[in-house]
């Protein structure tokens, strides 16, 4: 007897339904304040989907009243989408939004993932998730305040916030270990490198034996909001392993930046 069983057929149908929903979400993600109106050709190019699929999905959105299609064939999202977005924004919380990224980084690399925000006193840790590696970065917990010239996350803040940079460079730079930056000229040059790279790597400059990598979370007008960082054993943050960590942290920070940037002013 041939043919798929009802269960198998149902599973295939479910997978196709999920796939269609994900493709539809990918199309809606192309709209934003920077691009409120998009043509079929632009959606096709931006989403990577084929033209018939894009047309079919967008037609469904038009019929549902979520998207408007003008006489020229361009698409614009309608109020039901804004209503859904407003509901999400009303409950937006930076820690809640960042938590999945921290958990993913900690689970993937076994290190400790941190979320930090700037303050007058320094970089404040507002959340952390420990990985499975034996080393626990016990010196940095929730509520800890770090100086702006040591450790990866504070250094990223200094590199991406001009006011913090000017204040830090005008003050004295205290040494925490033998690798802490204490020369303002050398530190300024390092900040320029960090800003150009979009990521900072610290090696034993705040806690001996501990290294970290951090990237900025930027909001509207690329204003600094927070940092995502990963800290652990220094030997794990060199060579290819260090590069993979840096790429993962940068990607997580960019995703959180996109969420933060969509909040209303």
Q: What is the pLDDT of residues 24-74, one digit of tens each?
A: 888 887 886 667 788 899 989 988 888 999 998 898 888 888 888 888 888
Domains of the chain as residue ranges with CATH: 6-90 (1.10.10.10), 94-261 (3.30.450.40)
Examine the pLDDT at 7 and tell me if it is beyond 50: no
Which residue blocks in 4-93 are alpha helix, DSSP H? 6-28, 40-47, 51-64, 79-90
Residue 137 Rama label (left phi>0; alpha psi -120 to 50; beta): beta
**pLDDT exceeds 90 at position 263:** no
Identify the top-confidence range among 15-29, 46-60, 80-94, 179-193: 179-193
Cβ–Cβ under 8 Å, residues 125 and 143: yes
- pLDDT, tens only, 211-241: 999 999 998 888 999 999 999 888 888 889 9
More confident residue, 227 or 136: 227
Greatest Cα pair distance in the chain:
82
**Residue 60 pLDDT:** 87
């Amino acid at each position: 007897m041939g043919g798929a069983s009802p269960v198998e057929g149902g599973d295939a149908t479910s997978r196709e339904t999920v796939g269609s929903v994900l493709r539809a979400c990918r199309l809606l993600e192309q709209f934003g304040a920077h691009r409120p109106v998009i043509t079929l050709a632009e959606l096709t190019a931006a989403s990577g989907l084929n033209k018939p699929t894009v047309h079919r999905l967008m037609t469904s959105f038009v019929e549902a009243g979520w998207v408007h299609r003008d006489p020229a064939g361009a698409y614009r999202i309608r109020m039901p989408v804004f209503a859904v977005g407003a509901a999400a924004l009303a409950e937006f919380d930076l820690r809640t939004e960042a938590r999945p990224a921290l958990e993913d980084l900690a689970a993937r690399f076994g290190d400790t993932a941190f979320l930090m925000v700037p303050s007058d006193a320094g970089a404040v840790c507002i959340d952390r998730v420990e990985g499975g590696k034996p080393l626990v970065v016990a010196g940095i917990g929730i509520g800890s305040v770090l100086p702006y010239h040591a450790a990866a996350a504070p250094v990223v803040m200094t590199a991406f916030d001009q006011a913090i940079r000017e204040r830090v460079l005008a003050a004295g730079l205290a040494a925490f270990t033998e690798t802490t930056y204490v020369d303002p000229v050398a530190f300024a040059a390092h900040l320029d490198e960090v800003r150009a790279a979009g990521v900072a790597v610290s090696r034993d400059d705040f806690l001996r034996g501990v290294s970290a990598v951090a990237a900025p979370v930027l909001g509207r007008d690329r204003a600094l909001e927070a940092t995502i960082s990963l800290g652990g054993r220094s030997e794990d943050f060199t060579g290819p392993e260090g590069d993979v960590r840096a790429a993962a942290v940068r990607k997580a920070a960019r995703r959180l930046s996109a969420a933060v940037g969509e909040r209303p002013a």
